[in-house]
Structure 1
Amino acid sequence: MRTLLALACTLALTAGAARADEPLSAAQKFARESVIVDTHIDAPTELLKHWNDLGLDAPKVEFDYPRARQGGLDVAFMSIYTSPEQDKAGTAWQIANTQIDGVEAMVGRHPDKFAILRSPDDYRRLVDGGRVLLALGMENGAPIEGDLKRLQQFHARGVRYITLAHSHSNRIADGSYSLDRPWKGLSPFGAQVIAEMNRLGIMVDVSHLSDDATVAALAASRAPVIASHSGLRHFTPGFERNLSDELAQAIAKKGGVVQIVFGNGFVDPKTAADTTAYFRARPEFDRAQAEAAARGEKPKTVEEFDQQWERDHPPHPVKIDAVLDQIDYAVKLLGVDHVGIGSDFDGVGGALPEGLRTVADYPNLIAGLQARGHSDADIRKILGENLLRVWREVEAVSKAAR
């Protein structure tokens, strides 16, 4: 039986890459009939590096309109990402707004293909005509700086979740990769940030947080909490970036959802170990270059460090089964109502499993879940219905507070 299921899955994966002029596979039809919500796509960061018209074919990136429609994607949360370095330089506010400008420019160029989604209640109206709806998620609360009024400004621009910290600790919370953890969880300002997010109806995202910060965020929030793009530590022991069983269960108990990430660094233990080592090595590199500059020597650049790192740490091959295993485990651990997807497309340098390389590939995920015995109703929940439910609940908490 397991051999037959594996064969069915393999055939479906092959069919998932069908040309536009070929008949749709069963999984492709299912994708188009379901609501697919991906809570983490890093297209805005890529747009700042190099402008691509994502309303047309853009083969050098992982998200564009033609492949999104091929894959059945309905709602794509555009990640408004700023780095710890930009936070330190005081440029995070400017960069975040520039990325939002880029998303708005895409919509302005192709109003027949894209629209900004600010509320799940607007989904049916805006998706009509085959649009891909673009919601905004801010990855790293750094652009808020120390000003709560900026939350209102970002909410007005469409931001509907905020990942409180990224790879390092900031003014709000401690990060999971950070060696420096000044708050031992959440800062006093971070508690104010969460209260204001609850009031405005912005989802609290605990992906990237330290364990202590995740616990504190769950305690501080009056609304359900999400993990926008996280894996489960069960598969990557010692990798704090992923959620422990206990933290994932706490998110579910509060009514939230864990959005399973696709990137190799989160679903494959060998790649996860390399990722942890990278974020441990970077601070040492930064210190060494600062010392070199102080001695009057020419420091090496981060780009040089990254290139050498990639040479020393070649990629490990990963199959789609690694993501399917995560979803299987999450459903058993949390219940199907608390599991979703947050791919991290365009955010992991192409380090993605075979069969899940672009937004055209959601049918492959569907075929894999069907082959593993998940019901159609449960798959629809995982693909997007769960996230939309949580979003509505966050909005309800906001309305009750006003």
Structure 2
Amino acid sequence: MEEKREDSETSKEEALLDRALSIHRTAIVMNAAVMSSQALIRPGRDIGKRWQGLAPGTGDLDLPRLRDGEVNVLWQAVCGSTGEDETKIPLQGLELIDTLLTDILDRYPDDFELALTVSDVRRIREQGKIAVLLGMQAGQFLGGSVRALRVYRRLGVRYMTLTHAWTNLLCDSSSGAIRWNGLSKVGREVVREMGILGVIPDISHATDRAALQVLELSRGPVIATHSNARALCCPLPEMARTLGAESLAERNLSDDLIRRLADKGGVACVNFAPALVSQAFSDGYPKLKELRPALNAHMETFRAAHPDDVEGQREEKARFMKEHGITPATLENVADHIEYIAEMGGWDHVGIGTDWEGTGGHHPRHLEDVSKIPLLTAELLRRGHGESEIRRVLGENMLRVLEEAQGVEMQGG
């Protein structure tokens, strides 16, 4: 009797996954926050090959896994270090864009193509290729220059995260020092210019005050490309100190910001970084930092004994963490954030922005790489959500925002 029940449950799970994959094959499936520019410059990294690298933060995304997960749109964010002099950083941004264009588009023209418009995205997807949109994380790549924004826009950049883990010349960071009480004077000029150019402002990493100012100033929709619901996960001061941050209390979105973002026509894209997904994982992060040498040594031994068993390695990592009092984040936690943001702002205002290649080598269990996205779709189906809602979350919501931003551009901001 027990075996029949288990067989029945297995059949149900397989049916849900089959249905999820069927949706993916006909839907726009977008990852709105991919931080591959830094990963691609690592020795031996080739996005066209299934990557089994052991370094933290590698192997989240590659062409074989994109195909496995039926993901057909990447919004690649240029992401790099701060440097000492912010006015010199625009050169780094240009070099990282060149990395993306060369190592993805030029190297694999039959699989990837640059998209500048919504019609480009749909055409590229219909051709069986993966559409690549460009974004920029973060505003330090402008070096305080509005004119630099115009250059990046000509190169294809269609959204810009105003700040990152540190306060820059444009905007206060939720994990950095308060310098401008929100946006600086230049930051305000940049937000206005973004409306004229059709470049979408991204408030992920911004303080609440800065985010509210962006929402007030922007003529078009505003997005949060990789932020979750603060009500479900709010990193404590202990975790911030572990990372050397001033605070992380405002890193995820408050209920008020989610509603205001929705009122502006924007989208909040759920981040897969475990410390922003799971309160339990976030609370245990200081302990994880202490455990890391032992965890790395244990996993190195396990990988040597089981080099081809990737799922086994992931299961063993989760087991080892639990054994030492650290609760891993899960796929179900991510689905909780999607539902919560939809409850606060509506299903037209939630998307997916994994932050892959930027999560420090940790992932929610069963969402370790891009091939696993159909499991998240299956979980939403399991919870009773309709195909129309799911298609919006997977990509249609972000395409709508891109189209609206281009409409504002055509009207002259």
Amino acid at match of 2:402: W
Q: How large is the RMSD of aligned CA atoms in angstroms?
A: 2.5
Give the alignment of 1:116-131 within 5 angstroms: 116-131=114-129
TM superposition score normalised by structure 1: 0.83
Partner of 1:376 in structure 2? Answer: 387
SS at match of 1:49: coil
1:104 equivalenced with 2:101 (yes/no): yes
Q: How big is the shift at 1:267?
A: 0.6
SS at match of 1:73: coil
Partner of 1:203 in structure 2? Answer: 200
Partner of 1:255 in structure 2? Answer: 265
Give the alignment of 1:128-277 within 5 angstroms: 128-178=126-176, 180-237=177-234, 239-273=249-283
For the 8 Å contact 2:234–2:252, the answer to whether it is kept is no
For the 8 Å contact 1:77–1:135, the answer to whether it is kept is yes
Give % identity.
32
Q: Which has the larger displacement, 27-36 or 251-260?
A: 27-36
State which of 36, 47, 71 in structure 1 corresponds to 2:40: 47
Amino acid at match of 2:207: S
For the 8 Å contact 1:69–1:132, the answer to whether it is kept is no
Q: How big is the shift at 1:92?
A: 2.5
Quote the Cα distance in structure 2 between the aligned partners of 1:321 and 1:164: 30
Q: Which has the larger displacement, 230-239 or 134-143?
A: 230-239
Q: How big is the shift at 1:148?
A: 1.0
For the 8 Å contact 2:40–2:47, the answer to whether it is kept is no
For the 8 Å contact 1:13–1:367, the answer to whether it is kept is no
SS at match of 2:40: helix
SS at match of 1:48: coil
Unmatched segments (≥5 aa) in structure 1: 17-24, 279-305
1:338 equivalenced with 2:349 (yes/no): yes
Q: How big is the shift at 1:357?
A: 1.0
Cα distance, 1:107–1:257 mapped onto 2, change above 3 Å: same
For the 8 Å contact 2:38–2:79, the answer to whether it is kept is yes
SS at match of 1:138: strand
Cα distance, 1:310–1:139 mapped onto 2, change above 3 Å: farther
Quote the Cα distance in structure 2 between the aligned partners of 1:379 and 1:143: 34
Q: How big is the shift at 1:274?
A: 6.1
1:325 equivalenced with 2:336 (yes/no): yes
Quote the Cα distance in structure 2 between the aligned partners of 1:208 and 1:273: 19
Q: How big is the shift at 1:74?
A: 1.2
Quote the Cα distance in structure 1 between the aligned partners of 2:15 and 2:356: 20
Q: Which has the larger displacement, 48-57 or 310-319?
A: 310-319
SS at match of 1:235: coil
Quote the Cα distance in structure 1 between the aligned partners of 2:43 and 2:15: 31
Quote the Cα distance in structure 2 between the aligned partners of 1:163 and 1:328: 24
Quote the Cα distance in structure 1 between the aligned partners of 2:15 and 2:90: 43
For the 8 Å contact 2:198–2:406, the answer to whether it is kept is yes
SS at match of 1:322: helix
Q: Deviations over 1:317-354 (max 9, x none)?
A: 12111001111111111110111110111111221111
Cα distance, 1:394–1:312 mapped onto 2, change above 3 Å: farther
Partner of 1:386 in structure 2? Answer: 397
Cα distance, 1:207–1:374 mapped onto 2, change above 3 Å: same
Partner of 1:361 in structure 2? Answer: 372
SS at match of 2:411: helix
SS at match of 1:233: coil
For the 8 Å contact 1:55–1:113, the answer to whether it is kept is no
Cα distance, 1:58–1:243 mapped onto 2, change above 3 Å: same
Q: How big is the shift at 1:385?
A: 0.4
Q: How big is the shift at 1:401?
A: 0.7
Q: How big is the shift at 1:135?
A: 0.9
Quote the Cα distance in structure 1 between the aligned partners of 2:95 and 2:389: 38
Amino acid at match of 1:112: D
Cα distance, 1:123–1:191 mapped onto 2, change above 3 Å: same
For the 8 Å contact 1:83–1:140, the answer to whether it is kept is no
For the 8 Å contact 2:228–2:271, the answer to whether it is kept is yes
Partner of 2:56 in structure 1? Answer: none
Quote the Cα distance in structure 1 between the aligned partners of 2:294 and 2:218: 42
1:35 equivalenced with 2:35 (yes/no): no
Cα distance, 1:257–1:44 mapped onto 2, change above 3 Å: same
Q: How many residues get paired? A: 359
Quote the Cα distance in structure 2 between the aligned partners of 1:343 and 1:380: 17
Amino acid at match of 2:37: P
Cα distance, 1:271–1:14 mapped onto 2, change above 3 Å: farther
For the 8 Å contact 1:45–1:81, the answer to whether it is kept is yes
SS at match of 1:112: coil
For the 8 Å contact 1:12–1:364, the answer to whether it is kept is no
Q: Deviations over 1:232-289 (max 9, x none)?
A: 10012463100000011110011101111111011111333466x79xxxxxxxxxxx
Q: Which has the larger displacement, 92-101 or 380-389?
A: 92-101
Cα distance, 1:244–1:94 mapped onto 2, change above 3 Å: same
